[in-house]
Structure 1
Amino acid sequence: MAATGASSGKDHWSSRTAFILAAIGSAVGLGNLWRFPSEAGANGGGAFVLFYIFCVVLIGLPVLLSETLIGRHGQADAPESVRRIARESGAATQWSILAGLGVFAAFLVVSFYCVVGGWVLYYIGVFCNDLVQTGLSGGAFQGRDPAEIEALLPGLFGNGGLMVGLNVVFLLITLIFVARGISGGIEVAATWLMPAFFVLLVAITLYSVFGGAFQQTMNYLFTFEPEKLTGEVMLAAVGQAFFSLSLGVAGMITYGSYVGRDVNIAATSGIVALADTTVALLAGICFFPIIFAAGLSPDAGPGLMFQTLPHAFQSMPAGSLVGILFFFMVGFAALTSSVALLEVPTAWLSRALKLRRGVAVGVVATGALVLGTLSALSFNLLSAWHPLGFFPLFEGQGMFDVLDTFTSKLLMPMGAILTSVFLGWVAERRLVNSETGLSPAMQRLWLFLIRWVCPLALLAILIVGIFPSIL
């Protein structure tokens, strides 16, 4: 059943709730559960967290609304939606390049995102095996040395066959949901996995709060220390606000194109941003009590989830079961995001080449599998291969890091900057204002933000990403 006001002949969300859950699923992923706690830990806690919340409101939410607006008005894949707005505004249709960057970025990101999803599957298996061996009587990995626990991830990295196999499994699960379409696949994933994710997140957070160093965590995350708010920390917070909402990959343009005219996209964008931020904060409240209670350091960076936390589960009652539930929760979030990422190039290819959905997603997934295989092998068999090492930005990087750097530091900020400029300065004002669902005063504020604040902040991310020595 299409949402009221949806055009016939095009698959749409069955309800506003389905769209909100799918949009939250698109935004909530490893950026919240992996990147946010590691960034908060690496950047001193409270100063970073509070400035991050500020950035979500002033930068993340306006761009999120902008992407959704483009998709809802265009009612097509991302480049075609931009092209339609440009044509109606009397502007050059070449502005569709901004969405083309997003489509390309989504394709590249899903190729290595599924590799990380494979790591999650591996840890589910590790904890399941540990539960069989040790039961519920005590912590995880009983009798094993902490160094041995932390060596699990490097051990996985060294096994090329296992890395590739896990990537294939995660990509296939993603493909199945996307191949079944909006109402029959993507919506099903969102409406089942996101509630399950939130239940697990709340349950594990409560377990962590009552069994860990809660007060120390609250002091760490929410005590504002002005001296720690350096330029580097502020840019890290801006970047986290941008990446945690999955902006710049045309995901919300694509999902917005399946929204009926009766949905207030300003209100739904606010709900998505609020849910995304809440998940990030809960992830911090979930992670750090466990880490502090175990006497471990919060500044482990990217290794926080896959090395520090498994070690911390060793000292927790029923640690193996908690580990299983924790990584299932992470897997649910990663899957809903990978589904959204794969949908973006699938929707474009289906329209551009007039392919059936099943064929289009198969072509995209095949390309992603090739890049994903190279990414997985860059940790082992291809570790000495640096495909773009002749560029300073990519010096010493294998395929996984090249794809991560190219998308996060170049394509995604560029796409978001162009989106802000396009809606702020190019698109016809009456056309845009009729779509937002904002009051006149809020429309003026939103226009100011996407004209000035968002492009300048995102430009800073882009410049620092290319020239990190500036800081």
Structure 2
Amino acid sequence: MVATTTTTGEGWSSRTAFILAAVGAAVGLGNIWRFPTLAGESGGGAFVIFYIGCVFLLGLPLVLSEIFIGKVGQTDAIGSIRRVAAQSHVAPSWSIFGAIGAVAAFLIVSFYSVVAGWVLYYAAIMGADLLSAIAAGDPFRGALVGESQEQIQQRLGDMFANPGLLLGVHFLFMGATLYIVARGVSSGIEKAATYLMPMFFVLLVGLVVYGAIEGDIGDAVAFLFTPDWSKLTPQVMNSALGQALFSLSLGVAGLITYGSYIKEGGGLGPTAAMIAIADTSVALLAGLMIFPIVLAVGLDPAAGPTLVFQTLPFAFQAMPAGALFGFLFFVLILVAAITSSISLLEVPTAYGVGERGWSRPKSALIFGGGAFLIGIACLLGYNVWSDVRPLGFWSLFENTDILDTVDGFTGKVMLPVGALLTSIFIGWKADENLLRTTTGLSPWAFNLWRFLLAWLCPLAVATILVTGLFPGILGA
């Protein structure tokens, strides 16, 4: 690290552009895939209601904290925290949680690209199926007609058994992410958010309407919003807490980095609230999109991680216009994935620009290329191969499970540590006058925000950290 931090010199063209980009950063696989998966596994209503509470009591204060740091710092995450620390007359070593966030973002985007590559593959499958339906003169038929449930489910195993395919889709997705980030804030990230986020919301609303008309919306609403409090176990509460952090992309310094590109004045509170509300709304709409379809064809809403890649493709087979809406569904997930991966790669890229003095293209290439290489290790080391292709060279990797290891370490250790240090820094160390003038909060809102950061957030995040490291505490 060089001794002097420099500003990136880039900024959003408007508040709307920042909100679109920040919502795009938060909205990703965590909303469209992980939230419905956890809601299904955790029994629905009780998990959902507790999750919403976590977002607004824990997530929203941390969202505002990260945006505040970036707005004051006007540079990469590490440099921004250092500047806030200097203005608050506390040790510059607090910038450590910016470094933790940057490393976490770098590691997460490496395996995130691998999983997003799976989505890209399925979007291609469903797109080819739609073209086949159109060619046959029946564009509104079900998806993957003629295939049994076993054949549809086997597609996932066939994908894992094809290393060339996995490498190719990983390369394409990471290449697209790197290209957008390398173009800069206004020409790359903002432009992508301006086009992709409206398309995302149109697709999401359209698919929710489709699920409501063709699916079982009544049972889905009951499943998602009728709580069975007996299912709100410590494990479920901990999952909801973790999902609130994961869904809002907290602890990876993404919102600090995006906040540093805010050049205009104005209060930050309403902006942070809009981001939290939009992100939570997307998660709930994802549930209302997926569960009516799953329940309508009698499939299990608690199918777990295979819900998106095995359960839903089979469900679309039985639905009217399933070929069309199955394709649109995977396009929706792909859009969510790319907007999130952009924000993840932007965090280390901004570090290279602000701390190392590199040009943006050079920094994006170094960190994007490094993440791509780690992603290769993740896709080769995924332990599903022990069941799919345990022969020859690939048998060397069959028990390494690198993807799950990196995912577990970042999600259970790095993100909670980053969020914990953020809450302590803003709740206890940051200068109060600086906080008041920059956030523009009313006195009662400011006092509530500072109280939540000083007491509730550290306690809750520490719980996630301890139980993630020692799951036996919850009887897991």
Deviation at 1:426, TM superposition (A): 1.2
CA distance, structure 2, for counterparts of residue 8 and residue 262 of structure 1? 17
For residues 60 and 397 of structure 1, do their structure 2 counterparts lie closer, same or farther at Cα, with a shift above 3 Å needed? farther
Query: Match for residue 95 of structure 2?
Result: 96
SS of the residue 1:306 aligns to: coil
Query: Match for residue 307 of structure 1?
Result: 310
Tell me, yes or no, if the aligned pair for 2:182 and 2:364 is still in contact at 8 Å. Answer: yes
Deviation at 1:117, TM superposition (A): 1.1
Select 1:215's aligned residue among 210, 218, 222. Answer: 218
Matched, 1:78 2:77: yes
Select 1:468's aligned residue among 434, 453, 471. Answer: 471
Deviations 1:95-128 (A, max 9, x none): 1001100000000000010111111110111112
CA distance, structure 1, for counterparts of residue 211 and residue 420 of structure 2? 39
Tell me, yes or no, if the aligned pair for 2:8 and 2:75 is still in contact at 8 Å. Answer: no
SS of the residue 1:247 aligns to: coil
Select 2:268's aligned residue among 265, 270, 275. Answer: 265
Query: Match for residue 362 of structure 2?
Result: 359
Deviation at 1:261, TM superposition (A): 3.9
Matched, 1:427 2:430: yes
Q: Which amino acid aligns with 2:26?
A: A
Matched, 1:58 2:57: yes
Q: How do residues 99-248 of structure 1 correspond to structure 2 at under 5 angstroms? A: 99-135=98-134, 136-248=139-251
Alignment RMSD: 1.4
Deviation at 1:302, TM superposition (A): 1.0
CA distance, structure 2, for counterparts of residue 227 and residue 142 of structure 1? 41
For residues 38 and 463 of structure 1, do their structure 2 counterparts lie closer, same or farther at Cα, with a shift above 3 Å needed? same
Tell me, yes or no, if the aligned pair for 2:63 and 2:248 is still in contact at 8 Å. Answer: yes
CA distance, structure 2, for counterparts of residue 120 and residue 102 of structure 1? 26
Deviation at 1:382, TM superposition (A): 5.1
> Which range moves more in the overlay, 9-18 or 22-31?
9-18
Q: Which amino acid aligns with 2:71?
A: R
Q: Which amino acid aligns with 2:193?
A: A
Query: Match for residue 30 of structure 1?
Result: 29
Unaligned residue ranges in structure 2 (runs of 5+): 1-5, 386-392
SS of the residue 1:151 aligns to: helix
> Which range moves more in the overlay, 433-442 or 40-49?
433-442
CA distance, structure 1, for counterparts of residue 94 and residue 456 of structure 2? 21
Tell me, yes or no, if the aligned pair for 1:409 and 1:465 is still in contact at 8 Å. Answer: yes
SS of the residue 1:302 aligns to: helix
Deviations 1:165-211 (A, max 9, x none): 10010001011110110001000010100000000000011001010
Query: Match for residue 411 of structure 1?
Result: 414
Query: Match for residue 332 of structure 2?
Result: 329
Deviations 1:52-95 (A, max 9, x none): 00110000000111011000011110000011111121111111
Deviations 1:309-347 (A, max 9, x none): 111001011211111111111111100000000000000
Matched, 1:253 2:293: no
Q: Which amino acid aligns with 1:62?
A: P
Deviation at 1:220, TM superposition (A): 0.4
Q: Which amino acid aligns with 1:224?
A: P
Q: How do residues 450-465 of structure 1 correspond to structure 2 at under 5 angstroms? A: 450-465=453-468
Q: Which amino acid aligns with 1:163?
A: L
For residues 103 and 117 of structure 1, do their structure 2 counterparts lie closer, same or farther at Cα, with a shift above 3 Å needed? same
CA distance, structure 1, for counterparts of residue 473 and residue 397 of structure 2? 28
CA distance, structure 1, for counterparts of residue 299 and residue 214 of structure 2? 15
For residues 9 and 344 of structure 1, do their structure 2 counterparts lie closer, same or farther at Cα, with a shift above 3 Å needed? closer
Percent identical pairs in the alignment equals 51
CA distance, structure 2, for counterparts of residue 71 and residue 131 of structure 1? 44
CA distance, structure 1, for counterparts of residue 69 and residue 436 of structure 2? 12
Instruction: Please report the TM-score for the alignment, with normalisation by the length of structure 2.
Output: 0.94
CA distance, structure 1, for counterparts of residue 191 and residue 129 of structure 2? 32
Tell me, yes or no, if the aligned pair for 1:16 and 1:263 is still in contact at 8 Å. Answer: no
Q: Which amino acid aligns with 2:37?
A: S
Query: Match for residue 375 of structure 2?
Result: 372
> Which range moves more in the overlay, 271-280 or 140-149?
140-149
Q: Which amino acid aligns with 1:349?
A: G
CA distance, structure 2, for counterparts of residue 58 and residue 232 of structure 1? 19
SS of the residue 1:445 aligns to: helix
SS of the residue 1:44 aligns to: coil
Deviations 1:18-67 (A, max 9, x none): 00000000000000000000000000000000110011000000011101
CA distance, structure 1, for counterparts of residue 370 and residue 395 of structure 2? 21
Tell me, yes or no, if the aligned pair for 1:383 and 1:398 is still in contact at 8 Å. Answer: no
SS of the residue 2:165 aligns to: helix
Unaligned residue ranges in structure 1 (runs of 5+): 1-6, 387-395
Tell me, yes or no, if the aligned pair for 1:171 and 1:365 is still in contact at 8 Å. Answer: yes
Query: Match for residue 9 of structure 2?
Result: 10
Tell me, yes or no, if the aligned pair for 2:380 and 2:397 is still in contact at 8 Å. Answer: no
Select 1:400's aligned residue among 399, 403, 421. Answer: 403
Q: Which amino acid aligns with 2:98?
A: A
For residues 101 and 9 of structure 1, do their structure 2 counterparts lie closer, same or farther at Cα, with a shift above 3 Å needed? closer
CA distance, structure 2, for counterparts of residue 266 and residue 242 of structure 1? 18
Tell me, yes or no, if the aligned pair for 1:79 and 1:348 is still in contact at 8 Å. Answer: yes
Deviation at 1:265, TM superposition (A): 1.4
Deviation at 1:385, TM superposition (A): 3.8
For residues 8 and 71 of structure 1, do their structure 2 counterparts lie closer, same or farther at Cα, with a shift above 3 Å needed? closer
Q: Which amino acid aligns with 2:213?
A: F
Instruction: Please report the TM-score for the alignment, with normalisation by the length of structure 1.
Output: 0.95
Query: Match for residue 447 of structure 2?
Result: 444
SS of the residue 1:38 aligns to: helix
Tell me, yes or no, if the aligned pair for 2:140 and 2:324 is still in contact at 8 Å. Answer: no
Q: Which amino acid aligns with 1:270?
A: A
SS of the residue 2:309 aligns to: helix
Deviation at 1:134, TM superposition (A): 3.5
Deviation at 1:260, TM superposition (A): 2.0
For residues 165 and 58 of structure 1, do their structure 2 counterparts lie closer, same or farther at Cα, with a shift above 3 Å needed? same
SS of the residue 1:263 aligns to: coil
Matched, 1:284 2:272: no
Tell me, yes or no, if the aligned pair for 2:7 and 2:354 is still in contact at 8 Å. Answer: no
The total of aligned residue pairs comes to 456
